């Protein structure tokens, strides 16, 4: 059975990070082993939140795993709470030579950097990206990583150019998510091959969508699904669950109501 070290925050309410990665990876038949980067009452999108940074404890936590001789099939990183954490995660990845690495560079969305993210953290994130087998930025994060200006709309050529810049940082595969494209929403993937996986656009942007996509992708990749199929299936799952969330009147801050659909994952 595959094991994933999921380095992400625990936000008690709002369906993101570990509260998404754990159920989704379990539904894929993959063991999810969380490393909390911070504990929050709810994600920062709510405006007010309790935030307890876990930087000082993460080293000891990871060392304890090392003492047990654990190794992981995958290291999957998401929201990081401080500059120091990015260094800790970088070391963990470098020591875990055999692990496949998925970096979701959670920093920003809709042209806005998250309130806990500093410019130095954004710079340091590039070092993690350099170690990634797959990196899954949204367009805002892709622009930050590529050192480009954020735009609401891009031509296909501009998106591929962002992906190219991110490859030059060292990432093997780049999947740029949430690209608005002719009234549809697209994921641009670039690695050994290039492809675009699209779905109908839903005009309400649910929080945690990127976490749901990356966790689904991680689950498929751990089950040896080829990247193209994994991206397409993950995008289809996000579309289906987001549509359902809208239909049941779930608020966008509460995250995607995906729970009912976990049993359909195959
Ligand atoms: O879904 C991204 C995310 C993860 N973790 C925390 C967040 C956010 C987005 O706002 O605040 C704590």
Q: Is 9 in the pocket of ligand 1 (CB under 6 A)?
A: yes
Mutate to test the pocket of ligand 1, among 39, 79, 216, 238 (most ligand atoms within 8 A of CB): 79
CA 181 to each of CA 159, 165, 204, 238: distance values in angstroms, whole numbers, following the listed order: 11, 20, 16, 17
Domain boundaries, the chain: 3-264
Cβ contact 219:27 at 8 Å: yes
pLDDT per position as a tens digit, 94-138: 999 999 999 999 999 999 998 888 999 999 999 999 999 999 999
Checking if the pLDDT of 266 tops 90, the result is: no
Q: Is 8 in the pocket of ligand 1 (CB under 6 A)?
A: no
Task: Identify the residue whose C-alpha is closest to ligand 1 atom 2.
Answer: 208
Task: Identify the residue whose C-alpha is closest to ligand 1 atom 1.
Answer: 208
Relative orientation angle of helices 119-129 and 156-169, to the nearest 10 degrees: 80
Q: Using the 8-state DSSP alphabet, how is residue 109 labeled?
A: E
pLDDT per position as a tens digit, 21-50: 999 999 999 999 999 999 999 999 998 999
Mutate to test the pocket of ligand 1, among 40, 42, 45, 138 (most ligand atoms within 8 A of CB): 45
Mutate to test the pocket of ligand 1, among 10, 16, 82 (most ligand atoms within 8 A of CB): 16
Nearest residue to 135 via CA among 96, 71, 77: 77
Helices and strands in the chain: count of H runs, count of E runs: 8, 11
Distance CA 117, CA 34 (A): 21
Nearest residue to 218 via CA among 205, 230, 208: 230
Distance CA 146, CA 126 (A): 9
Distance CA 202, CA 188 (A): 18
Q: Do the bridges between strand 3-13 and strand 31-42 make them parallel or antiparallel, or are there none, so unpaired?
A: parallel
pLDDT band at 189; cut points 50, 70, 90: very high
| CATH of the domain spanning 3-264 | 3.40.1190.20
Distance CA 265, CA 93 (A): 28
Nearest residue to 32 via CA among 21, 16, 40: 21
Q: Which atom of ligand 1 is nearest to the CA of 38?
A: 12
Nearest residue to 179 via CA among 142, 126, 130, 227: 142
Q: Which atom of ligand 1 is nearest to the CA of 207?
A: 1
pLDDT per position as a tens digit, 55-76: 999 999 999 999 999 999 999 9
Those residues with Cβ within 8 angstroms of residue 67's Cβ, 6 or more apart along the chain or in another chain? none
Q: Do the bridges between strand 31-42 and strand 51-53 make them parallel or antiparallel, or are there none, so unpaired?
A: antiparallel
Q: Is 34 in the pocket of ligand 1 (CB under 6 A)?
A: no
Checking if the pLDDT of 153 tops 90, the result is: yes
Checking if the pLDDT of 89 tops 90, the result is: yes
Distance CA 160, CA 52 (A): 38
Checking if the pLDDT of 209 tops 90, the result is: yes
Q: Which atom of ligand 1 is nearest to the CA of 255?
A: 1
Distance CA 238, CA 199 (A): 9
Q: Is 232 in the pocket of ligand 1 (CB under 6 A)?
A: no
């Amino acid at each position: 059975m595959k094991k994933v070290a999921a380095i992400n925050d625990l936000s008690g309410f709002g369906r993101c990070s570990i509260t998404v990665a754990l159920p989704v990876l379990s539904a894929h038949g993959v063991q999810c082993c969380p490393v909390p980067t911070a504990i929050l009452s709810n994600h920062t999108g709510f405006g007010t939140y309790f935030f307890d940074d876990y930087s000082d404890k993460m080293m000891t936590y990871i060392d304890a795993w090392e003492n047990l001789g654990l190794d992981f099939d995958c290291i999957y990183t998401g929201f990081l709470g401080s500059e120091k954490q990015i260094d800790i995660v970088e070391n963990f990845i470098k020591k875990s030579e055999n692990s496949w690495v998925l970096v979701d560079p959670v920093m920003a969305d809709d042209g806005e950097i998250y309130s806990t993210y500093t410019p130095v953290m954004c710079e340091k994130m590039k070092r993690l990206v350099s170690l990634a087998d797959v990196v899954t930025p949204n367009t805002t994060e892709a622009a930050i990583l590529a050192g480009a200006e954020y735009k609401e709309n891009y031509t296909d050529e501009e998106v591929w150019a962002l992906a190219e810049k991110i490859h030059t940082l060292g990432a093997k595969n780049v999947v740029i998510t949430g690209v608005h494209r002719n009234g549809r929403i697209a994921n641009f993937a670039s690695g050994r091959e290039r492809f675009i996986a699209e779905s109908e656009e839903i005009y309400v942007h649910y929080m945690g969508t990127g976490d749901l996509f990356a966790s689904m992708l991680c689950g498929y990749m751990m089950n040896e699904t080829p990247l193209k199929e994994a991206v397409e299936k993950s995008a289809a799952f996000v579309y289906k669950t987001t549509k359902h969330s809208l239909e049941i009147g779930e608020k966008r801050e509460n995250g995607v109501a995906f729970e009912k659909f976990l049993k359909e994952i195959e």
